[in-house]
Chains A and B, each alone.
Chain A
Amino acid sequence: MQGTCGLFHTSYASESQLLPTSFQRWRFGLFFAAYAFCPLFLDAYDLSVLIMIHVAVIGAVALNLLTGCCGQISLGHGAFVGVGAYASAILSGLGLPFLLALPAGGLVAACVGMFFGIPSLRLKGIYLAIATLAAQIIIEYLFLHWDGLTGGSNGMIVASPDLFGLAIDDEPGHFWLSFAVAALVVLAVSNIMRTRPGRAFVAVRDYYLSAEIVGVNLFATKLAAFGVSSFLAGVAGGLWAHYVMYVTPEMFGVGLSISYLAMIIIGGMGSVQGSVFGAIFITLLPEFLTFASGAASDVLPGLSDSLMAMKEGIFGLVLVLFLIFEPEGLSYRWRLFKAYWKLYPFAH
């Protein structure tokens, strides 16, 4: 490959590589190595934002697998995150080690997600969206009213996690933990996307009838998509719960489902990289607003209060503007950006 201009694949294996060029491998490796040192020179608040980004990345990548790749619209993703959070919190409260409670919470979420995915056999598009919205509201009701298990509206306290006798109770610990899990999840989903089940997801999304004709079992594929997506959502929930150390029903409302959908749309549907971008963008948006209102308060004193009240409205506005002006999302913009620099300064 050295000395040639362009990238020529000579085998299927080289074509389906995640990072085909050595430049990309170096770039990712260096970035991850540098990123892992963040806790050494960032304060606790910045780290907490980064931890929330890691959790959001896991959730968004999971939803992207279901909605972006398999085409099954889910308005219940927030509730599945919540199921994972509650399940892992309850299990670790019963004395299960964190390393087992986290995937166990994911499994519980996967079971719940697959149960609510059953209607997807018969329902498509808007009907499925409404069915998953119903799932969201029913699960939220259970969080709020199944007092014996969830602590009702008071929520419940979660013990801080413990890895092989090493207590993780400060921001750097949680940073490395959530970073490791997020990197694993992104790697796993990228790998799922280049195997047979992943291609089956895309086939079902593109046209269910031809997918079935080429031998994809529709029901099993859709159910698998719901299962994997809810499992990862549950893992995200478990991490979140163990980081903030409490869970309440308000954390997992319909607003959370909507913000996950917003992440994958703003990032670019169907692209793992896009979901990561979207998760970063949506998590940083309120931080940016806080910063901007703080900076503007010197000039316009009344502005900061009203800006905080407008948080949700600005979120909606950003969503609408993205859908109208940039429907392909941030990952498309990133591709254009890379294409521009590829032949710089000989752009044409």
Chain B
Amino acid sequence: MEFYLQLFISGLVIGSIYSLVALGFVIIYKATKVVNFAQGEMLMAGAYVCFALTVQAGLPFIASFLLTLAFSVLLGLCIERLILRPMIGEPIISVIMVTIGLSSVLKAVVQFFWGTDIRVYPEVLPTEPVMVAGVPVAPVYVAAFLLSLLLFAAFTLFFKYSRYGIAMRATAFDQQAAQSMGIGIKNIFALSWCIAAVVSSIGGVILGNINGINIQLGQLGLKVFPAVILGGLDSLLGAAIGGLAIGVLENVCGGLAKDLLGLGGFREVSAFIFLVLILMVKPYGLFGTRHIERV
């Protein structure tokens, strides 16, 4: 039983990272209706930049973390301006393919600078485990989980009360109406890409502190799809809950499959089997907006 509790808790931690990546995905989808297949590579870029600043340039962790965030803002701006803005009004398949192309470009750039080896972050947090519900858990896991919660609280408040957050929600709701009320749609698009890049690079830095980073990190971007489909493609709360749920689900399913059936590697695929089931039963997810069509 303790084994499953352990799986549950590590599922929550990995799930909180999925939530962060899903949050970035949902922000972009909500504001610009672009499906971003490069979310995982944006996470990877952030993780590598933070690694380079901490280890290769020797900066203190906090400073390099802040610089990474600044870099992500720049990355988000560049991607939006150079690649996504020419694609406004193009069919959905072209937009999907442009983000797929972007993901392989980002991956190649990272590979060019840092190669394919696993890189390990220096220890930032103490290593002796803390006890959570009677299970020893590494402090970095707790920190990751708390940081994700904090970010979600911050973004919820941002979207509810701040001027820009309200403008972003208005744009998501109806672009023309928002524009006629004096909201600069282009700025909103740029802002949403910036936020998405920042959020996912935070996820990358957390992940780097847990496992170290390598070129396969971008694969994580595929895992956001089960999370966002479960939560609903355009719901922030859905992204949070969907990410956590998928993280726990795949860990527990993987453990169960190994224990009961002796199947290896089931963890990777369970989330996608679940995804197909959700799409069959409830395609708009738990909290997504339903598009009602009468035929």
A interface with B by C-beta (< 8 Å) = 67, 73, 119, 122-123, 125-127, 129-131, 133-135, 137-138, 141, 144-145, 209, 212, 254, 258, 261-262, 265, 269, 306, 309-320, 323-324, 327
Chain B min CB distance to A25 (Å): 34
Residues of A within 8 A of B109 (CB): 313
Determine the distance from Cα of A145 to Cα of B254 in the docked complex, in whole angstroms: 14
- Min Cβ gap A324→B in Å is 5
Contact with A along B222-235 (1 / 0, CB 8 A): 10011001000100
B residues within 8 A CB of A212? 295
Q: List 17 A-B contacts (CB under 8 A).
A: A67-B93, A73-B93, A126-B35, A126-B233, A130-B229, A130-B279, A133-B222, A134-B272, A135-B276, A138-B269, A145-B265, A265-B97, A313-B108, A316-B104, A317-B105, A323-B97, A327-B94
Across the interface, name the chain A residue whose C-beta is closest to B100: A258
In the complex the two chains form, what is the Cα distance from A254 to B221 in whole Å? 13
**B90–A327 CB distance below 8 A:** yes
Interface size on B, residues (CB 8 A): 41
In the complex formed, the residue of B with least CB distance to A141 is: B269
**Closest Cβ of chain B: how far from A312's Cβ, in Å?**
5
Task: Say whether B86 faces chain A, with CB atoms less than 8 Å apart.
Answer: yes
Closest Cβ neighbor of B274 among chain A residues? A134
Choose among B102, B265, B295 the residue that contacts A320 (Cβ–Cβ < 8 A).
Answer: B102
Q: Is the CB of B112 within 8 A of A309?
A: yes
Contact between A324 and B96, CB atoms less than 8 A apart: no
Residues of B within 8 A of A314 (CB): 108
Extra contacts besides A313-B109, A313-B111, A316-B105 (4): CB < 8 Å: A133-B222, A265-B97, A309-B111, A317-B105
By DSSP majority rule, is chain A's interface helix, strand, loop, or mixed? helix
**Distance in Å from the Cβ of B211 to the closest Cβ of chain A?**
21
Q: Which residues of B contact A310 (CB under 8 A)?
A: 108, 111-112
* Contact residues in A for B105 (Cβ distance below 8 Å): 313, 316-317, 320
B210 at interface (Cβ–Cβ under 8 A)? Answer: no
Q: Which residues of B contact A316 (CB under 8 A)?
A: 100-105, 107-108
A315-B97 Cα distance, complex, nearest whole Å? 12
A314 to B104, CA, bound (A): 8
Nearest residue (CB) in A for B263 is A145
Residue of B102, B264, B272 ringed by the most chain A CB atoms within 10 A: B272
B157 interface residue per 8 A CB criterion: no
A131–B83 Cα gap in the complex (Å)? 26
Which of chain B's residues have a CB closer than 8 A to the CB of A67? 93
Known A-B contacts A122-B283, A126-B35, A141-B268; A265 and B94 likewise in contact (beta carbons under 8 Å):
yes
Question: In the complex the two chains form, is A134's CB within 8 Å of B108's CB?
Answer: no
Residue of A nearest to B233 (CB): A126
| Contact in complex: B280, A119 (CB < 8 Å) | yes
Is residue B67 within 8 Å, beta carbon to beta carbon, of the partner chain?
no
Q: Which of B96, B97, B109, B229 has the most CB of A within 10 A?
A: B97
Q: Hey, which chain A residues are within 8 Å of B87, CB to CB?
A: 323-324
**Alpha-carbon separation in the docked complex, A313 to B104 (Å):** 5
- Check A127–B279 contact: CB distance below 8 A: yes
Pairwise interchain contact B92-A313, C-beta atoms closer than 8 A: no
Q: Which of chain B's residues 197-229 have a Cβ closer than 8 Å to chain A?
A: 222, 225-226, 229
Q: How far is the CA of A269 from the CA of B90 in the complex (A)?
A: 13
Is B98 interfacial (CB-CB < 8 Å)? yes
Contacts A67-B93, A265-B93 hold; do A133 and B101 have CB atoms under 8 A apart? Answer: no
- Encode B241-283 as 1/0 by CB contact (under 8 A) with A: 0000000000000000000000111101100110110011001
Could you say which residues of chain B place their CB within 8 Å of the CB of A306? Answer: 112
State A315–B105 Cα separation when bound (angstroms): 8
Q: A269–B96 Cα gap in the complex (Å)? A: 14
Task: Check if B269 sits within 8 Å of A320, measured CB to CB.
Answer: no
Q: Which residues from chain A contact B283 at a C-beta distance below 8 Å?
A: 122-123, 127
Contacts of B111 in A (CB 8 A): 309-310, 313
Q: Which B residues are in CB contact (< 8 Å) with A138?
A: 269, 272-273, 276
Q: How far is the CA of A127 from the CA of B226 in the complex (A)?
A: 11
CB distance from B28 to the nearest CB of A (A): 12
Q: Closest approach, in angstroms, between the C-beta of A281 and any C-beta of chain B?
A: 14
